[in-house]
């Protein structure tokens, strides 16, 4: 029976009743997950439910959430299915409508419990439940393997019970990894911090979110993203922890290489006394690097204020190159004089071209440098005018 036949009012009443039951009342994260997917479904947006929207809108993840490296939605969906199964398998369950989270999707299903109960002989129910549980486990492990993630389970105190994929990565046996043996695979510089964080999470029940290096086969360390959430009993105590480790080594090393490259570029530009600048075409606002302070006394402001610094005789030449560049009709290339904030005349050389910024805005990006030495040492503007 679909949601239209049951009615939104009845479904909302069932949701409210579910949220008062101990397994959900004591798990705000699962309650938020269930509430979000049910409300989105009732609003006609159930088919649009994806890992990203659930993570960012319901589970508090940032807009940079990446489902390829963060398994929080899959893990919480699995927990939610287990909790709903536990609630509805109770003979004393008072609910008239069954809300389920079908395998393979996040849009919930809604059924009258009487219809479900009458369709299966009582003696067949345990076998069907066991088969469904086995199928669910197989699908979940297939998803973990497809995502190249490591799955693991631990006791409430944090000692490892079981892993799926960690032995193959590290070369250690499951027996060697169990308990707290897995900590020996961590980089010596990361081990103490991760252990302290993990023990604190186990004491407080706070989900784990940490990055660390794990020693792989052959002795090489690779960066991993570890996440874990607690599974609770009906009384609200932690029954066990489930988690994943995702390999993010390439992302970490790429980010580090980018930071190194940017730092080298910054040092090179500082040594050459080059100033970077950009003009936002939509607002005509100018932003310059820090060296703009020594060149002009300012690093940001409207384009007109920067143009006002240019010696009037040079302004037409600058505009003749700048305006076509702002329209995308070529590159900007000009040499001109300015009167800086200390009243000195400087010769500047500037070049730039259009580019699309990461935020989607169109900007004129470029560099500029002081070339006054080519024309003799800069002097006070009044002295230069007098000599002219």
Which of 132, 147, 162 is the last residue before a domain boundary? 147
294-304 average pLDDT score? 90
Which of 201, 231, 264 is the last residue before a domain boundary? 264
pLDDT digits (tens, 9 = 90+) for 216-267: 988 999 999 999 998 887 777 888 999 888 888 888 888 888 888 777 877 7
251, 371: one domain = no
Say yes or no to pLDDT of 131 above 60. Answer: no
Q: Which residues contact 226 (CB under 8 A, 6 or more apart)?
A: 194, 208, 209, 210, 211, 212, 243, 244, 245
139-165 average pLDDT score? 73
**Taking a C-beta distance cutoff of 8 angstroms, is the pair 65, 54 a contact?**
no
The pairs formed by 56-63 with CB atoms below 8 angstroms and a separation of 24 or more are: 58/32, 58/33, 59/29, 59/32, 59/33
β-bridge pairing 208-215 and 332-339: unpaired
Note the Cα 101 to chain centre separation in Å.
25
pLDDT digits (tens, 9 = 90+) for 161-174: 988 888 888 999 98
Q: What is the CATH number of the domain that holds 340?
A: 3.30.450.20
β-bridge pairing 208-215 and 221-232: antiparallel
pLDDT of res. 294: 85
pLDDT of res. 127: 52
β-bridge pairing 332-339 and 345-356: antiparallel
pLDDT digits (tens, 9 = 90+) for 83-130: 898 898 888 888 989 999 988 789 999 988 754 434 444 455 555 445
pLDDT of res. 225: 92
At residue 302 the predicted structure's pLDDT band, cuts being 50, 70 and 90, is: very high
Percent of the chain scoring above 90 in pLDDT: 41
Domain count for the chain:
3
14, 132: one domain = yes
Output the average pLDDT for the chain. 84
273-296 average pLDDT score? 90
54, 99: one domain = yes
17, 129: one domain = yes
340-369 average pLDDT score? 89
259, 278: one domain = no
Say yes or no to pLDDT of 290 above 60. Answer: yes
368, 379: one domain = yes
pLDDT of res. 272: 66
164, 218: one domain = yes
pLDDT digits (tens, 9 = 90+) for 30-85: 999 999 999 999 988 888 899 999 999 999 888 888 887 888 888 888 889 988 98
308, 348: one domain = yes
pLDDT of res. 132: 52
**Taking a C-beta distance cutoff of 8 angstroms, is the pair 310, 338 a contact?**
yes
Which of 222, 241, 264 is the last residue before a domain boundary? 264
Q: Which residue has the tokens 């000692």?
A: 159
39, 136: one domain = yes
Enclosing H/E stretch for 224 = strand 221-232
227, 242: one domain = yes
Phi, psi at 344, each rounded to 5°: -90, 150
- Does the pTM surpass 0.75? The reply is no
pLDDT of res. 142: 47
232, 278: one domain = no
296-320 average pLDDT score? 93
Query: Which domain range does residue 305 map to?
Result: 273-387
User: Could you write out the three-class secondary structure of 229-265?
Assistant: EEEECCCCCEEEEEEEEEECHHHHHHHHHHHHHHHHH
Sign for the CA dihedral angle at 132, 134, 139, 141 comes to positive
127, 206: one domain = no
pLDDT of res. 377: 55
């Amino acid at each position: 029976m679909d949601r239209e036949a049951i009615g939104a009012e009845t479904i909302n009443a069932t949701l409210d009743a579910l949220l008062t039951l101990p397994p959900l009342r004591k798990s705000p994260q699962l309650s938020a997950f269930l509430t979000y997917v049910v409300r989105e479904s009732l609003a006609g947006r159930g088919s649009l439910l994806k890992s990203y929207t659930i993570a960012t809108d319901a589970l508090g993840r940032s807009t940079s959430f990446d489902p390829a490296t963060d398994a929080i939605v899959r893990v919480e969906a699995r927990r939610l299915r287990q909790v709903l199964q536990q609630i509805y398998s109770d003979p004393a369950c008072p609910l008239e409508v069954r809300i389920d989270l079908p395998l393979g999707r996040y849009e919930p299903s809604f059924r009258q419990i009487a219809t479900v109960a009458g369709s299966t002989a009582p003696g067949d129910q345990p076998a069907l439940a066991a088969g469904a549980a086995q199928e669910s486990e197989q699908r979940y492990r297939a998803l973990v393997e497809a995502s190249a993630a490591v799955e693991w389970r631990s006791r409430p105190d944090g000692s490892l019970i079981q892993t799926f994929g960690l032995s193959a990565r590290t070369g250690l046996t499951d027996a060697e990894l169990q308990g707290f043996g897995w900590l020996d695979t961590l980089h010596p510089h990361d081990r103490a911090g991760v252990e302290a964080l993990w023990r604190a999470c186990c004491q407080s029940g706070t989900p784990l979110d940490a990055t660390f290096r794990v020693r792989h086969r052959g002795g090489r360390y690779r960066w991993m993203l570890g996440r874990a959430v607690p599974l609770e009993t009906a009384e609200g105590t932690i029954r066990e922890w489930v988690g994943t480790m995702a390999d993010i080594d390439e992302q970490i090393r790429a980010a580090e290489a980018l930071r190194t490259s940017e730092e080298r570029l910054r040092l090179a530009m500082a040594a050459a006394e080059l100033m970077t600048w950009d003009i936002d075409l939509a607002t005509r606002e100018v932003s310059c690097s820090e060296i703009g302070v020594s060149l002009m006394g300012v690093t940001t402001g409207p384009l007109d204020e920067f143009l006002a610094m240019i010696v009037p005789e040079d302004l037409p030449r600058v505009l003749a190159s700048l305006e076509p560049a702002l329209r995308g009709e070529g590159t900007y290339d000009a040499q001109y004089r300015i009167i800086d904030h200390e009243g000195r005349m400087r010769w500047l050389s500037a070049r730039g071209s259009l580019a699309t910024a990461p935020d989607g805005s169109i900007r004129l990006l470029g560099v500029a440098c002081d070339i006054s030495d080519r024309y003799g040492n800069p002097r006070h503007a009044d002295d230069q005018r007098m000599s002219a």
